[in-house]
Chain A
Amino acid sequence: MLRILTLALILAASTGCFTMNAAMPGTLRTDVTAAQTEKVGTLTHETTNWFYICGLLGSPPEDVFAAEIKKQCQAKGADGVANLTYEAQTGCLDFAIGYCTFNIITPRSYKLTGDLVRIKASPLPGKPAKSAAAPGEKGAQVAQAF
């Protein structure tokens, strides 16, 4: 038992638990002021990720939020997202599932919110982030639909 605990601790210390590392599409710009944006909608996206063995396994892919951000931007004709807020929590149901399964299955909930905006400032040089996904990828399918 002690060996298993030690192994779990070493794993936790080296890889981390409940690791979320989500890549954001496009560029994050603080040079764009609020006056240079026009709100056209609201971004809301909630998802639950299923981790396993006290969160040691089951980290989500990096593009876990990217496709949804692109999709909602395109649906509203927005250029980007302002006031983007990232939230994570082990909610009531997540906790109950973890408790009942002795933390073998340990979900964690994530939420992204923000304002979908049109941006009046000039874009930075580069490829459009909405259509940057390779053909066949989920993001590309969304982009091609428009």
Chain B
Amino acid sequence: MKNLAIPLVLALALGSGCMHTTSKLPGVLDLRSDGSGAAPANDAVKTTPEVTRDGIGGWLTGEGLKIAGDKVVIEDRQWHIIGLFPAFNDMGAGEYAALPKGTAMRGVKVGDGLVGTDVILALAPSLVSWIPIVNFVGLINLAPRMTLNVSGTRIQSGGGGAAIEPAPPSPDEPPPPPTDVTPPAGT
């Protein structure tokens, strides 16, 4: 049995990769505009404690969704059991769902990494490993966590989503060019 365990873990590692993080961003990334001409959205937004976490919860699973004025920051901490299996927390799904309806953001940044809290959380159990239960927790703690970071600036979408009425295409007409690829004047 022991002989099978190592190849099994290795096979899983080969198949899935270590510290695998996946995050599906909400909505549509619209490249027709960078949003620089839109006014920032500063309306007050209320979030629930489940998505905006402070204290221990913030340490363990990331601070979640924080909206201050027009600034939006999402921090979500992913746990991995022995670096292979994501556990305890999704990657931003709850926070994305809690974004105000019809949110538009410019200057969006997406990424992940090991932040200071991750390193401390990974090392902390080893300092108290003489406590029996910590040895068990240590199994979970063999690999450090990754933290998802998403940030952006909220802008007013003006009710958004107003449809553009397309002109009926002529049968002989070639397919229309993309709406935003016209070179700037002077080029």
Contact = CB atoms under 8 A, between A and B. Distances in A.
Q: Main SS of chain A's interface residues? A: mixed
Given A89-B20, A125-B33, A78 B178 contact: yes
B25 A86 contact: yes
A24 B30 CA distance: 10
Given A17-B119, A20-B113, A120-B163, A132 B103 contact: no
A146 B184 CA distance: 11
A28 B187 CA distance: 28
A7 interface: no
A42 to B, nearest CB: 14
B28 A17 contact: no
A73 to B, nearest CB: 5
Contact of B23 (A85, A121, A129): A85
A30 B26 contact: yes
B112 interface: yes
B127 interface: no
B47 interface: no
B91 to A, nearest CB: 9
B57 interface: no
B108 A23 contact: yes
Interface of B: 13-14, 16-38, 83, 99, 101-116, 119-120, 123, 146, 149, 152, 155, 157-164, 166, 175, 177-181, 183-184, 187
Across the A-B interface, the 5 shortest Cβ-Cβ residue pairs = A31-B160, A125-B37, A89-B17, A13-B116, A30-B27
Interface of A: 9, 12-14, 16-33, 36-37, 55, 62, 69-70, 73-74, 77-92, 94-95, 109, 114, 117-132, 143-144, 146
